[in-house]
Amino acid sequence: MAIIVQKFGGSSVANAGRIRAVAERIAATRAAGHQVVVVVSAMGDTTDELLGLAHQITANPSRRELDMLLSVGERISMALLAMALNDSGIPAVSFTGSQSGIITNDAHTNARIVEVRPFRVQDELDRGKVVIVAGYQGVSYRREVTTLGRGGSDTTAVALAAALDAEACEIYSDVAGVFTADPRVVPDARRLDEIAFEEMQELAESGARVLNAHAVEFAKEKGIAIFARSSMNEAGETIVRRFPPRAPGRVVGIASERNLAWIGVDVRDAADAAAALGWLDARGLSGKQVQIDTGRLSFVVGLENVPDFDATARALQEGFGSAARVQRDLSAVSVVGAGINAAFGHLETTLRLAARRGAPILSTSTSSFRISLLLAQPDPDDLVRDLHVTLVPPA
Ligand code: ASP
Ligand code: MG
């Protein structure tokens, strides 16, 4: 019998009624003759609420204790969903990440899955049960509870699908698939029927929230197709998988990210830069768009999964004095598509639109898939709309 992994996001399990609706969908999949593994997120805004509670207690919660706290959200929804299924006569059992064999490294609040040993999941499937797994969490080799970074339930779903050799991995959320931009920001954004792993990974790494970037990376590595759908009876889906390269130079979408910080450290040479990176690494800080120019190391940090950034910024100032600078409240916009930088046209248009908006550009970077602008403003939405109108071709 084929295994199907279905993941339901926070809004899909936001209250008792929605949980019962999800149970019905699972029942239908099971009735169609599949073994079903379900991965759930925390109900509604539970994770944000738990984070808020922690910050009412202390400005600097330890990452370990945050993981103990945040992992509770998914335990609530998994147990309620198992109860809903049992109530309608379908045998179901819920497991934490640890019980499901999700083994991670020990990077608290942003851990990476290193291995999946889903023996108990497989046993219960063989007993005819639906298995509900708490998303977004795992256990380290030191037996510490870890979480996978915000949006990490997607990663749990893809990792389980790979380990169980599932036929499909279906990700249900409040939007019906992957759009050319966030439809809440760009009402004219259109759904992509299909998208290649590489393009999806670039969109997700540039801030598109519809799928978690680590999850897509995992799916690409293991060749797991992802079906992104809405859980709210809205038709349509996007299939993310290996596709033959499409016509190069076509923009697939515009993504954006908020809550970024820029860090710059004056360095004398490469050895000096390496020492600074070692210092940051030892404090659990990592970044992207790392640049080492004459005399300066700089990079960008997404603050979402860095709950103790204030402490790190203070330590940086103490350790490096005036050689270190931190700039916060930044955002970024990215134009994504394979081969879009083969000529300068897209970059030229992007810069022209940014200039017309008066967007304060801190830096510009490109890869063969992407143009990214780092902006000294917290809200990138206006520029996202401008770029979408001009650069995203109609279907
Ligand atoms: N509940 C977690 C979050 O809000 C994980 C997830 O939703 O995937 O980030
Ligand atoms: Mg959530």
* Contact by Cβ (8 Å): 130, 85: yes
pLDDT score of 245 more than 90: no
Measured in Å, residue 145 CA sits from the centre of ligand 2 at: 18
Mutational test site, ligand 1, from 75, 77, 136, max ligand atoms within 8 Å of CB = 136
pLDDT value for 121: 98
DSSP 199-230: HHHHHHHTT--SS-HHHHHHHHHHT--EEEEE
The β-bridge partners of 40 are 8, 134
Ligand 1 nearest-atom number relative to CA 151: 8
Alpha-carbon dihedral sign for residues 150, 151, 153, 155: negative
Ligand 1 nearest-atom number relative to CA 10: 7
Measured in Å, residue 216 CA sits from the centre of ligand 2 at: 17
Average confidence (pLDDT) over 339-351: 95
Ligand 1 nearest-atom number relative to CA 73: 1
Mutational test site, ligand 1, from 41, 43, 66, 218, max ligand atoms within 8 Å of CB = 41
pLDDT score of 233 more than 80: no
Helix, strand, coil percentages, rounded to 5, for the chain: 40, 30, 35
How far, in Å, CA of 103 to CA of 171, rounded? 21
pLDDT in tens, 94-145: 999 999 999 999 999 999 999 999 999 999 999 999 999 999 999 999 999 9
Measured in Å, residue 76 CA sits from the centre of ligand 1 at: 13
Mutational test site, ligand 1, from 40, 47, 148, max ligand atoms within 8 Å of CB = 47
pLDDT value for 138: 98
Measured in Å, residue 69 CA sits from the centre of ligand 1 at: 13
pLDDT score of 246 more than 80: no
Which stretch, 80-94, 223-237, 299-313, has highest mean pLDDT?
Answer: 80-94
pLDDT in tens, 166-191: 999 999 998 889 999 999 999 999 99
Nearest protein CA to atom 6 of ligand 1, as residue: 151
How far, in Å, CA of 353 to CA of 125, rounded? 54
Q: Which of 257, 51, 18 is nearest to 147 (CA)?
A: 51
pLDDT in tens, 2-54: 999 999 999 999 999 999 999 999 999 999 999 999 999 999 999 999 999 99
pLDDT bin (cut points 50, 70, 90) of residue 336 is very high
pLDDT in tens, 155-167: 999 999 999 999 9
Pocket of ligand 1 (CB under 6 A): 9-10, 41-42, 47, 73, 135-136, 150-153
pLDDT in tens, 191-217: 999 999 999 999 999 999 899 999 999
pLDDT value for 132: 98
Measured in Å, residue 139 CA sits from the centre of ligand 2 at: 19
Ligand nearest to the CA of 135: 1
pLDDT value for 68: 98
* Contact by Cβ (8 Å): 389, 349: no
Average confidence (pLDDT) over 261-283: 93
Measured in Å, residue 11 CA sits from the centre of ligand 2 at: 8
Measured in Å, residue 366 CA sits from the centre of ligand 1 at: 30
Average confidence (pLDDT) over 48-71: 96
Ligand 1 nearest-atom number relative to CA 45: 4
Q: Which residues keep their CB under 5 angstroms from ion ligand 2?
A: 10, 41, 47
Average confidence (pLDDT) over 338-351: 95
Ligand nearest to the CA of 152: 1
Average confidence (pLDDT) over 63-80: 98
Ligand nearest to the CA of 11: 2
Measured in Å, residue 70 CA sits from the centre of ligand 1 at: 9
Q: Which of 336, 333, 337 is nearest to 249 (CA)?
A: 337
Q: What is the pTM of this model?
A: 0.92
pLDDT in tens, 279-325: 999 888 889 999 998 899 999 999 988 988 998 999 999 999 999 99
Q: Which of 79, 75, 51, 76 is nearest to 65 (CA)?
A: 51
How far, in Å, CA of 234 to CA of 274, rounded? 50
In the 8-state DSSP scheme, what is residue 394?
A: P
pLDDT value for 293: 87
Measured in Å, residue 25 CA sits from the centre of ligand 2 at: 20
* Contact by Cβ (8 Å): 329, 284: no
pLDDT score of 1 more than 90: no
pLDDT score of 248 more than 90: no
pLDDT value for 71: 98
pLDDT value for 247: 78
pLDDT bin (cut points 50, 70, 90) of residue 90 is very high
pLDDT bin (cut points 50, 70, 90) of residue 394 is confident
